[in-house]
Chains A and B, each alone.
Chain A
Amino acid sequence: MPTFSFQPVDLPPGIPAFRQQIRQFLQREMPDTSPENKSNCWGVADLAFSRKLGQQGYIGMTWPKAFGGGERSAIERYILLEELLAAGAPVGAHWIADRQSGPAILKYGTAEQQQKYLPAITRGELYCCIGMSEPGAGSDLASVRTRGEQLADGRWKLNGQKLWTTFAQHCDLMIALVRTTPVDANNRHAGLSQFLIDLKHTPGITIRPIEDMVGGNHFNEVFFDDAIVEPDALFGVEGEGWQQCTSELSLERSGPERYLSSLALYLELLRAAGSDAESTVVQALGSIATQLWTLRQMSLSVAGQLVDGQDPTLEAACVKDLGNALEQGIPHLVQRIVSSELFLEDQSDLARTLALLLQTSPSFSLRGGTREILRGIIARGLGLR
């Protein structure tokens, strides 16, 4: 028996036609953008484009129709995502809501919460962010210190700080992990709860942008100073925030966004290579093509396992680890073989895409669980922990 299970998936009939539909939609509706902005495109927010996707039924497409979903299959959604990413579409605004917040609300939310948020998400009008990390809680997420205290009238008072919150500035809703009972030294995972926090209308919340290394404004710090939320902001079961949160994380590790972030650079290298390309370039193109193909097979296989109701947590960790290594490896490989100088005002698409990815790719193996944490999960799967 193989250690991990990666059976190939048979795509259902109808996929080629659906893929064609998506490509036609993108040809029509996707804003013109430079190759560099096509790289890591789920980190690029374009609210107008997200609304167009919503109108097309391309957000929450597997969710119940009652909440604006399309009741389509998870494999179809997978095909949609890979097409959006391969085209370099700016899908960052709604990505988190579609991938994990919406599904979490479907799973743990009350009927009122579902009605309140899901339809607006599917329209591409309501965006969500992840309120997990804090200054003292990165990989060791259970050490979050943001506190929630229930008041006599049932409302909750929140105090603390979230950090690295992607696109909090655009988001209406944060799902935050908060400590609601003091730490029990014997069970650090107990006493945590999740909250649905309305970022636009809750007094006592301050969102401050943090400029990233490349000068981009995508993540933020979010402060809660006696922020008061209604009783119905409690999400799921009080005290079970840890379990809810980790099941949310497992949704986000095996998707095509874990290996395609540097595809745009590969395509630029391919565009630049003619039939007289040197052997090193030809070999690099062949080698990366192989890795992209392999990762697609692995990622699809995990999608198939999810559809079949299996629990591919370990396989998902494999996809993310290997996919991130590929996304990070591509810029370095291209730099090894291409001689363009990297000027800030460089004109060539290839050099600009390379420069951007050299600088952004270190984050690929941090976001969504670091390389070391993933490898720890895999080692546990091998029986070593």
Chain B
Amino acid sequence: MLAETVSRLFAEVESDQLQPTIDEMGLAGLMLSEGQGGAGCGWEELFEVLEPAGQYAAAVPLGENILASQLLGKAGNFSLSPYVEGSLQEGKFSGEVRNIPWGRAVDTVVAQAATGDVFSLDTSAAHCRENHNLADEPRDTLIFDRQAIGPLESADLLQYCALMRSVQMAGALEGALQLTAAYTLERHQFGRAIGKFQAVQQQLAVFAVEVAAVSCAVRAACRAATRGDAAFQIGAAKLRANTAVEIASRTAHQVHGAIGFTREHQLRQFTQRLWSWRTEYGNDRYWSEFLGRRVIERGAEHFWSDLTARDDRVAG
């Protein structure tokens, strides 16, 4: 249901009208409790909403809006970032909050200091250094000078952001796959659709399996996040999404030939995002070390029982 509604939104609304429409629909309040005027949803519903955003390469910070709203306890066009450099003294923050999606366009940003403290910052007095990722999505740094903070409940912003981005990656991978599969049936060479060549079919099958793996991993991580501590699952989902980018982007571009290498073609909307998102909120090395350390710490004796206990806990 939710997925269909937002899919229609991304398919039909002009891109410059997307953010206003999202604001109007109150989508930012998805994960706020009903008492806070929200929809009381969890990560699994976030998947339903953000996966289509990835699949349509929607150029809006919808995930950021939803998560920052949840952290702030009210709905709005807010953003967040776990990348902070600066000092917190007597309730005032001086320094930089980096790589804020759409930092220039939001009036409040939620940030997390190295100490773990989570707080909100009013951005009106901040200096903005604009930047963009490869897909031209704003990734801004805001510079604050003794700006009063709003202390917030503790949360792991990197984990939040990693899962959010993983959901979008699952969507973008699916979008690239569907675009590519359709193209192999349209494009004819040697008197037949290129999709009829076994070499193309086999490549696409590998691509599809990667997409399926990411979708499954991210869904499982969302389910775990709704239910409690999901650090392992979130790290694994982001890492799984990251590693799929290589096969997916390589195959999608190869199969599209030269037309896919043009500025005008839609394919880059997926691949440029995927290349950026792979690095955002933990690249492969970051998460594989994070997970590797955890399994080493627990030891071989606990590996399998830990793996199964994560799902058994739910069964109770």
Task: Write the residues of chain A forming the contact surface with B, with a CB cutoff of 8 angstroms.
Answer: 2-4, 6-16, 19, 82, 86, 263, 266-268, 270-271, 273-275, 277, 279, 281-287, 289-298, 300-301, 315, 318, 321-322, 372, 374-376, 378-379, 381-385
Tell me the smallest distance from the CB of A354 to a CB of chain B, in Å: 15
Residue among B202, B223, B235 with most chain A CB within 10 A: B202
Tell me the smallest distance from the CB of A277 to a CB of chain B, in Å: 6
Interfacial chain A residues near B200, Cβ < 8 Å: 384
Among listed B119-127, B132-140, B176-184, interface-contacting one: B176-184
Q: Contact between A379 and B296 (Cβ–Cβ < 8 Å)?
A: no
B204 at the interface (CB under 8 A from A): yes
B295 interface neighbour in A268, A289, A294, Cβ under 8 Å: A289
B13 at the interface (CB under 8 A from A): no
* Ranked 10 nearest A-B pairs via Cβ: A286-B292, A286-B291, A6-B216, A282-B292, A286-B288, A379-B201, A375-B205, A378-B205, A11-B315, A285-B292
Interfacial chain B residues near A379, Cβ < 8 Å: 201-202, 204-205
Tell me the smallest distance from the CB of A156 to a CB of chain B, in Å: 38
Residue among A267, A277, A285, A294 with most chain B CB within 10 A: A294
Task: Write the residues of chain B forming the contact surface with A, with a CB cutoff of 8 angstroms.
Answer: 174, 177-178, 181, 184-185, 195-196, 198, 200-202, 204-206, 208-209, 211-213, 215-217, 219-220, 223, 232-233, 235-236, 239-240, 243, 284-285, 287-297, 299-300, 303-304, 307-309, 311-316
Please report the C-alpha to C-alpha distance between residue A322 and residue B213 in the assembled complex, in whole angstroms. 8
Tell me the smallest distance from the CB of B287 to a CB of chain A, in Å: 7
Q: Contact between A297 and B201 (Cβ–Cβ < 8 Å)?
A: no
Q: List 6 A-B contacts (CB under 8 A).
A: A284-B292, A290-B239, A298-B216, A372-B202, A378-B209, A381-B208
Known A-B contacts A270-B303, A322-B209; the reply to A11 vs B201 at CB < 8 A is no
Interfacial chain A residues near B290, Cβ < 8 Å: 286
Q: Contact between B212 and A3 (Cβ–Cβ < 8 Å)?
A: yes
Q: Contact between B216 and A301 (Cβ–Cβ < 8 Å)?
A: yes
Tell me the smallest distance from the CB of A311 to a CB of chain B, in Å: 16
Interfacial chain A residues near B307, Cβ < 8 Å: 289, 292-293, 296
Q: Contact between A384 and B216 (Cβ–Cβ < 8 Å)?
A: no
B288 interface neighbour in A11, A287, A378, A383, Cβ under 8 Å: A287
B316 interface neighbour in A8, A13, A277, A286, Cβ under 8 Å: A13
Q: Contact between A14 and B287 (Cβ–Cβ < 8 Å)?
A: no
Tell me the smallest distance from the CB of B235 to a CB of chain A, in Å: 8
Q: Contact between A286 and B295 (Cβ–Cβ < 8 Å)?
A: yes
Q: Contact between B184 and A384 (Cβ–Cβ < 8 Å)?
A: yes
Interfacial chain B residues near A277, Cβ < 8 Å: 292, 296
Tell me the smallest distance from the CB of A22 to a CB of chain B, in Å: 11
Interfacial chain A residues near B208, Cβ < 8 Å: 3-4, 318, 378, 381-382
Tell me the smallest distance from the CB of A377 to a CB of chain B, in Å: 8
Nearest residue, chain A, Cβ from B51: A2
Please report the C-alpha to C-alpha distance between residue A74 and residue B64 in the assembled complex, in whole angstroms. 41
Q: Contact between B212 and A267 (Cβ–Cβ < 8 Å)?
A: no
Please report the C-alpha to C-alpha distance between residue A286 and residue B303 in the assembled complex, in whole angstroms. 11
Nearest residue, chain A, Cβ from B316: A13
Q: Contact between B217 and A294 (Cβ–Cβ < 8 Å)?
A: yes
Interfacial chain B residues near A9, Cβ < 8 Å: 311
Q: Contact between A15 and B312 (Cβ–Cβ < 8 Å)?
A: yes
Q: Contact between B285 and A13 (Cβ–Cβ < 8 Å)?
A: no
Interface of A is mostly: helix
Q: Contact between A6 and B204 (Cβ–Cβ < 8 Å)?
A: no
Please report the C-alpha to C-alpha distance between residue A218 and residue B178 in the assembled complex, in whole angstroms. 43
Interfacial chain B residues near A15, Cβ < 8 Å: 312, 315
Q: Contact between B181 and A4 (Cβ–Cβ < 8 Å)?
A: no
Interfacial chain A residues near B297, Cβ < 8 Å: 275
Please report the C-alpha to C-alpha distance between residue A177 and residue B185 in the assembled complex, in whole angstroms. 36
Interfacial chain A residues near B206, Cβ < 8 Å: 321, 375
Q: Contact between A384 and B204 (Cβ–Cβ < 8 Å)?
A: yes
B287 interface neighbour in A7, A263, A286, Cβ under 8 Å: A286
Interfacial chain A residues near B291, Cβ < 8 Å: 285-287, 289-290
Residue among B235, B243, B309, B314 with most chain A CB within 10 A: B314
Interfacial chain A residues near B284, Cβ < 8 Å: 283, 287
Q: Contact between B205 and A285 (Cβ–Cβ < 8 Å)?
A: no
Please report the C-alpha to C-alpha distance between residue A268 and residue B295 in the assembled complex, in whole angstroms. 13
Tell me the smallest distance from the CB of B4 to a CB of chain A, in Å: 9
Q: Contact between A385 and B289 (Cβ–Cβ < 8 Å)?
A: no
Please report the C-alpha to C-alpha distance between residue A293 and residue B292 in the assembled complex, in whole angstroms. 13
Q: Contact between A282 and B288 (Cβ–Cβ < 8 Å)?
A: yes
Interfacial chain B residues near A3, Cβ < 8 Å: 174, 177-178, 181, 208, 211-212
Q: Contact between B315 and A13 (Cβ–Cβ < 8 Å)?
A: yes
Please report the C-alpha to C-alpha distance between residue A328 and residue B63 in the assembled complex, in whole angstroms. 37
Residue among A16, A274, A283, A286 with most chain B CB within 10 A: A286
Q: Contact between A384 and B174 (Cβ–Cβ < 8 Å)?
A: no
Interfacial chain B residues near A282, Cβ < 8 Å: 288-289, 292-293, 296
Interfacial chain A residues near B219, Cβ < 8 Å: 6-8
Residue among A15, A271, A375 with most chain B CB within 10 A: A375
Please report the C-alpha to C-alpha distance between residue A253 and residue B211 in the assembled complex, in whole angstroms. 19
Tell me the smallest distance from the CB of A262 to a CB of chain B, in Å: 13
Tell me the smallest distance from the CB of A141 to a CB of chain B, in Å: 18
Nearest residue, chain A, Cβ from B298: A270
Q: Contact between B213 and A298 (Cβ–Cβ < 8 Å)?
A: yes
Nearest residue, chain A, Cβ from B195: A384
Q: Contact between B223 and A267 (Cβ–Cβ < 8 Å)?
A: no
Q: Contact between A270 and B300 (Cβ–Cβ < 8 Å)?
A: yes
Please report the C-alpha to C-alpha distance between residue A267 and residue B64 in the assembled complex, in whole angstroms. 39
Please report the C-alpha to C-alpha distance between residue A2 and residue B52 in the assembled complex, in whole angstroms. 10
Please report the C-alpha to C-alpha distance between residue A383 and residue B219 in the assembled complex, in whole angstroms. 25
Tell me the smallest distance from the CB of B248 to a CB of chain A, in Å: 12
Tell me the smallest distance from the CB of A361 to a CB of chain B, in Å: 18
Residue among A6, A293, A295, A300 with most chain B CB within 10 A: A293
Residue among B216, B232, B236 with most chain A CB within 10 A: B216
Interfacial chain B residues near A295, Cβ < 8 Å: 213
Tell me the smallest distance from the CB of B284 to a CB of chain A, in Å: 8
Q: Contact between B292 and A289 (Cβ–Cβ < 8 Å)?
A: yes
Known A-B contacts A4-B212, A11-B312, A289-B236; the reply to A321 vs B295 at CB < 8 A is no
Tell me the smallest distance from the CB of A307 to a CB of chain B, in Å: 14
